[in-house]
Chains A and B, each alone.
Chain A
């Protein structure tokens, strides 16, 4: 009997084995009912049998084996199954082990009832394993999606809940400063409280941006008519007042008006300049260059400093990596968290359809951002479909 036929005609026995194995899995949630144990196994078995029966060219087979089969837009039974297993308290190992047991049980049941080997056995087994691997991959994807969602929700709640006490601490310190502290030292300490809560709040903002950027649609931006040159000048002026002992130069060219998210671009430039202040030589100037081209605006930040090693430069825009570069080589506890800042900077640029890159050698370290002018049809459609964002909190 062909394997796909065997599967269709023996679903009861296969499902019994599936349930029996399921009962050996223990989770914190306690034993599952037979209904939950079975979950989507029927649909998964149906998929496997159908997939085995579908015709497949040699080229398609090669593609499938490389995992290049296109991901369908509809959610599959395997993905939904993974979601249920996640909610039931299974960890990923346990979910995967069910598939291993399923594979073994089907093959064993089939081979046991075969009275003789047939020419099609190898082809059947090959298609069978491909189908199981397909379902397994989909389940892993579904499970991972759930994990990410749970983690993001956690981050969001954490970030938001921390803001209230931070606000109360900061406000109380501000009020005390206004009431007139009794001495210089008291004033210093109150200012320290205020500044440190601002820093803590910045970290919270970065965490929340990290969460939003991983929600699938990326970091949300709102385009308005703006001038990158004016924005650049404003940010440089702010940096000058924050760092009076450093030299900042700005070189602005014509043709810098367009539609971008002004506060977000300000955030990008502030981040790049703060890094330049942190990691550049204190006695050399930091230069901002903004140039307008027909199809794009290029904004770059230049400074002299210890060159960033090639391996570090490759990972510099990844979340949660910290580059140990500094004039003294020490890790200053006060340094801005380089990890999240550049990651979010990159997400902002990506959300604008642009690119960011870094080059670093003994002469200079240069961060270059490219902001395309043209808004592609796809991105405007996306904004129309997704509609106004609902803030969960």
Chain B
């Protein structure tokens, strides 16, 4: 059940969406907002790092194939940041093969989802992470 802001409950889960492709970023943002999550969006790695330190999201949905700073590098820096030690970081990528999964695992990603994203599966994963927190 999506958390409702009218009921006194645990604060809404904060999600940061990062993707250099705007339609991809926005459609994922709307999907998360529709679920009642508290969402921020950005389109590159450096911005993601600075927003994350302020926003302190529980979840980061991070695109891998970005110019300037790719998702693997962004993740390494997130993992080096003590402020974000509790954050669950998802890799979003079209590549779902064993090799890519190895690379994302080694960069410190907690989860690896393939594009195009299956919304139901993603929500189940985010939900299970929430359960573990509360």
* Residues in A lying within 8 Å of B, measured CB to CB: 160, 163-168, 170-172, 174-175, 178-179, 197-198, 201, 220, 222, 224, 261-264, 388-389, 391, 393
* Residues in B lying within 8 Å of A, measured CB to CB: 21, 23-24, 26-28, 30-31, 34-35, 65, 94-100, 102-103, 115-120
| Other A-B pairs, 13, CB within 8 Å; known A168-B23, A262-B98 | A160-B94, A164-B21, A167-B24, A168-B26, A171-B27, A171-B30, A172-B27, A179-B34, A222-B99, A224-B98, A388-B99, A389-B99, A391-B65
CA distance A179 to B33 in the complex (A): 11
- Asked whether, in the complex, the Cβ of A175 is within 8 Å of the Cβ of B98, the reply is no
24 contacts between A and B (CB under 8 A): A160-B65, A163-B116, A164-B21, A166-B116, A167-B27, A167-B117, A168-B21, A171-B24, A171-B27, A171-B116, A171-B117, A171-B119, A174-B119, A175-B27, A175-B31, A175-B119, A178-B119, A179-B34, A220-B99, A222-B98, A222-B102, A261-B98, A263-B97, A391-B100
- Asked whether, in the complex, the Cβ of A391 is within 8 Å of the Cβ of B95, the reply is yes
B108 to chain A, nearest CB (A): 17
B30 to chain A, nearest CB (A): 6
CA distance A261 to B21 in the complex (A): 31
CA distance A198 to B118 in the complex (A): 10
Contact residues in B for A393 (Cβ distance below 8 Å) = 65
Task: Name which residue of chain A comes closest to B98, CB basis.
Answer: A222
Contact residues in A for B26 (Cβ distance below 8 Å) = 168
Interface of chain B: mostly helix, strand, loop or mixed: helix
Interface of chain A: mostly helix, strand, loop or mixed: helix
CA distance A198 to B115 in the complex (A): 10
CA distance A220 to B115 in the complex (A): 20
Contact residues in A for B95 (Cβ distance below 8 Å) = 391
Contact of A168 among B27, B96, B99, B102 (CB under 8 A): B27
Task: Name which residue of chain B comes closest to A160, CB basis.
Answer: B94
Contact residues in A for B115 (Cβ distance below 8 Å) = 163, 167
- Asked whether, in the complex, the Cβ of B30 is within 8 Å of the Cβ of A172, the reply is yes
